[in-house]
Structure 1
Amino acid sequence: MTTALNSLRQRGFADFSATAPEALDHRRHWLMRAQNFSTEWIEFDEGSAAASFDSGFEALIVGVRGSVRISPANDRTLPAEVPADSIAITPAGAHSILGEPGSACVVIASQRTDLAGRRVLNAESYTEPDPRILPAGQPFRRTSALRGIQVLAFNDIMASPERPRLKMLQTDTLSINLVDYQGPRDRRMLSPHSHTSFEQGSLAVTGNFVHHLRAPWGNDANTWADDEHLPAPSPSLVVVPVEIIHTTEGVGEMRHVLFDIFSPPRADFIGNGWIFNARDYAPSHENTAS
């Protein structure tokens, strides 16, 4: 797919089941990034050692299969079990993750400090930053300190009545939308849209999807691109650049679980009262993401 006029990068995509993993201590890792965040899909086998991550701000751990145990590097915070279909919010700092055989989880973070030398699948796309993308910064702060690891089951995260399809959650530098539904998405009710100042990551966790992508036309017809209808099985991640029109369709009769990822957090969603845990945060400076 050719990039849109003035776009600095193409969309990023990886189907993890069709992409060789990074093998570390009997674990399998698929690590991708956007300009302001990274996602790391981790699978554990018999004999796997603990994985680790270190984030300058809060991070999100999504339980995918089985159960994983998160342990902070300091001994002042208790470990936490993160079963499938749950999300953990971890305080800033270093943590380890140990999974039972066959388990899997995803680490989502805006500013990891431990990725030097790691294999990032789409690293070459980020040799040059896109100046249109707002920096992650630290746009929000906790109204009271997160003193331990907070674990929320998917079913405990309530959707707003105004946006019943989306369960929304935030941290100090991230926000996510969770969709979880059975069967195909109604093709008469898709939601094509674009963003002017941030990228969107769409992480397919369960089910099969199609990402519909359209590059806007500018005056120069040589930059025009055909629409793309990108098959996306689970697990996979697409990173949608600024200005690209996009929507995602779950296909087939199975369960569909998908996370949309943003950094900085979606101030428009927060302002509308759509984010489940927004009361846990207050703005630390103006956030204008749209």
Structure 2
Amino acid sequence: MYDKTDLRSTLAGSPAGAAPVDRLYDAEYGLFYRDPPVEDDDRGRSWYVRGQNFVIAYSEALPGATFERTGQSDEYMVLLPDEDTPATASAGDQNERSGGYALFVMPPGDSRITLEKGGRIVRIFSALSPDLVAKCPNADAYADRHANIPPFQPWPEPAGGYRVRLYSLDVPVEPGRFGRIWRCTTVMVNIPNRQQGPRDLTKVSPHHHDDFEQCSLALEGEWRHHMRWPWAVDMNKWHDDVHVAVDSPSVTVIPAQVIHTSTWHSDANQLVDIFAPPRLDFSLKPGWVLNEADYPMLAQ
């Protein structure tokens, strides 16, 4: 249910035959502002949290920190959410440098990214890396695959093959386009522009996703995530509504089939939504995915 001014009201409806509600799952949280880091070493401090199909690694890096992957099985994204965080991403004989406020897509295999001055870095992986899954304090929540989420299926290989790809976040607002959306073979990110002032509570956007989770990464401001679980035929499985207040930085993983909306309550607020694999409905909207020329659509 969207306000008529919300561009998501133009999305195609859910496909017929979505999995019925037979088991309900709790939301998952990574409260990085409160919880101790999983890693605290010469690179800085890092926190991890997972969903069914993804792993988020949020780090506050020290100057000169290098984050490496060896034998990575698939693509991953690296988000530099702040300006003045110079970084170099490398794979094979390719080196790409950014001054910050950027998104890298990193290829399978060996790769690394170095932050000259340190700063915030968010790495976004599929859940096909067991070593990263093992770092997540909530790994046990997905010991069994959630029944209402289909098995993970990556999207087709990028045009021109795998390589380091660099995208600036400095993208102007364009009428008719929702947010700032990029995808690769494994994940999709939507990075709306920073919200100034609290949300208008007369124009919220309660909705649900039949068969995928929504990962909401709060980078700035105070947020409240409002969630309502559908009723199952067995009342013993019903959930109370949840209205959880979280600060930044944090991750909230909203389960499939749960009605949800978020409100923001600070002077400046920044949220990033993450999906794995990429969302088809967003991808079907012409012009919404900013790098759609680099990544072919999933076959229909």
TM-score band (shorter)? 0.7 to 0.9
Identity of aligned residues (%): 29
Offset of 1:178 from its aligned partner?
1.2
Richer in strand (by share): 1
Q: 1:260 aligns with which of 248, 251, 273?
A: 273
Q: Specify the alignment match of 2:221 in structure 1.
A: 207
Superposed displacement of residue 28, structure 1: 0.8
- 1:213 partner SS: strand
Q: Distance in 1 between matches of 2:58 and 2:132?
A: 17
Residue equivalent to 2:113: 97
Greater alpha carbon shift after TM alignment, 141-150 vs 170-179: 141-150
* CA deviation after TM superposition for structure 1 residue 102, in Å: 5.2
Task: Decide whether the 8 Å contact of 2:23 with 2:237 is kept in 1.
Answer: no
Moved over 6 A (4+): none
Q: Is the 8 A contact 1:194 1:246 kept in 2?
A: yes
Match of 2:129 in 1: 113
Distance change (3 Å), C-alpha of 1:284 and 1:35: same
Cα deviation digits, residues 93-127 of structure 1 (max 9, x gap)? 33223334551110012255362684212111010
Contact 1:11–1:239 at 8 Å: present in 2 too?
yes
Q: 8 Å contact 2:81–2:121 — kept in the other structure?
A: yes
Does the Cα contact within 8 Å between 2:227 and 2:241 map onto a contact in 1?
A: yes
Determine if contact 1:140/1:173 at 8 Å carries over to the other structure. no
Counterpart residue identity of residue 62, structure 2: D
Aligned equivalents of 1:149 and 1:276: distance in 2?
13
Q: Conserved in 2, the CA contact under 8 Å of 1:207 and 1:257? A: yes
Q: How does 1:114-153 map to 2 (within 5 A)?
A: 115=131, 118-152=134-168
2: distance between equivalents of 1:131 and 1:114? Answer: 20
Q: Which amino acid aligns with 2:188?
A: S
The aligned counterpart of 2:5 is none
Partner of 1:278: 292
Name the CA distance, whole Å, in 2 between partners of 1:43 and 1:94: 22
| Match of residue 155 from structure 1 | 170
How far apart are the structure 2 equivalents of 1:70 and 1:115? Answer: 24
Checking the alignment, whether the CA contact within 8 Å between 1:62 and 1:105 is kept in structure 2 is: yes
Aligned residues: 276
- CA distance in 1: counterparts of 2:137 and 2:79, whole angstroms: 20
State whether structure 2 residue 46 is matched by structure 1 residue 29: yes
Aligned-CA RMSD value: 2.4
Query: Is the Cα contact below 8 Å between 2:227 and 2:259 reproduced in 1?
Result: yes
Change in CA separation of 1:264 and 1:229 when aligned onto 2, cut-off 3 Å: same
More moved, 65-74 vs 260-269: 65-74
Note if contact 1:53-1:114 (Cα within 8 Å) is conserved in structure 2: no
Task: Report SS of the residue matched to 1:189.
Answer: coil
Gaps of 5+ in 1: none
Distance, in Å, in 1 between the alignment partners of 2:164 and 2:112 is 14
